[in-house]
Amino acid sequence: MQLKDKVILVTGAASGIGRQACLTLAGGGARIFASDLDGAGAAETAGRIEAEGGRAASFAHDVTDAAAWTRVIGEIERQAGRLDGLVNSAGLMVVRPFKETDFALYRRQQSVNVDSVWLGCQAAQALLASTAREGKDRGTTASIVNISSILGQKGGSMHSAYCTSKGAVRLMTKALAVELGRLQIRVNSVHPGLVETPLGIGSMQDMISHGVPLPSIEAAVGMVAQRTPLGRMAQPADVANVIAFLCADESAYVTGTELTVDGGYSIN
């Protein structure tokens, strides 16, 4: 895939899908800016890329803070002078029955999962657009990839706040794809199923602690694998490879699309 020398910012880069996206994109030749509230974790991700001969830098970054976004985008412009891609991967999932989800918990998930995407797209728009203008004669575009979920496409018990937030990301993506297309900025969403990450495993543990009749995490993973037509739970690389495609020149005519990455789980 054509990623060489692209400058890409990935949020939620300290672990899980965000970290693997950084590694996969860097493996394709992209220059990575890794950001996370966990600044040490983001720095570790960047360090791994540099140890393998890639180019990376990191930021401690609260994605719910507009001023933090201004700072991060400004620093990327100072260091790299361009931005080819933004991957909004930071996320929060708290599993609770609806009656136990107070408004503060609801708002926290909206803030991390929805507000951060809005703020990031808005902060990055000008730099993405200027980069896209430079590449227009070559047929290249800028790309925003928003990480939603299959729970942004359908409902899920004990996930009311999370479903609400990820559904918002899904439709925000489509609205921005229409509006930003004339600027040659593509906007797509990726909808993973259950992925073997700290977030995914943590959600299973939450479900067990709230009464879902499964004896262990291992049993939960087995249940997911059994229901999935491809017969296994997703790994971060499964999602990162799709993110890389959406950031690459090969997807230059793909925008407003939602790509489901769940091994067929949601259709079974």
pLDDT value for 224 = 85
253 is catalytic: no
Nearest-angstrom CA–CA distance, 90 and 93: 11
Specify if 226 maps to a domain. Answer: no
Which residue among the candidates 106, 162, 253, 265 is catalytic per the annotation?
162
% of residues, the chain, pLDDT over 90 = 83
Nearest-angstrom CA–CA distance, 115 and 50: 31
* Higher-confidence position of 215 and 224: 224
- 60 pLDDT higher than 90: yes
Q: Is 123 left (phi over 0), alpha (psi -120 to 50) or beta?
A: alpha
Structure tokens at 64: 């719910």
Specify if 211 maps to a domain. Answer: no
- 139 pLDDT higher than 90: no
- Average pLDDT over every residue of 210-222: 78
pLDDT value for 203 = 77
- Count structural domains, the chain: 1
CATH of the domain at 75: 3.40.50.720
- Res. 105 pLDDT band, cuts 50 70 90: very high
| CB 3, CB 248: distance < 8 Å | yes
Q: For residue 85, what are the domain limits?
A: 7-194+235-267
Specify if 210 maps to a domain. Answer: no
Q: What is the pLDDT of residues 152-187, one digit of tens each?
A: 999 998 899 999 999 999 999 999 999 999 999 999
Specify if 24 maps to a domain. Answer: yes
- Mean pLDDT (the chain, rounded): 95
Specify if 207 maps to a domain. Answer: no
Specify if 216 maps to a domain. Answer: no
Of 178, 56, 166, 82, the closest CA to residue 116 belongs to: 166
Specify if 67 maps to a domain. Answer: yes
- 243 pLDDT higher than 80: yes
Specify if 212 maps to a domain. Answer: no
Contacts for 144 with CB less than 8 Å, ≥ 6 apart: 85, 86, 87, 88, 121, 124, 128, 173, 176, 180, 185, 186, 187, 188
pLDDT value for 199 = 78
pLDDT value for 168 = 99
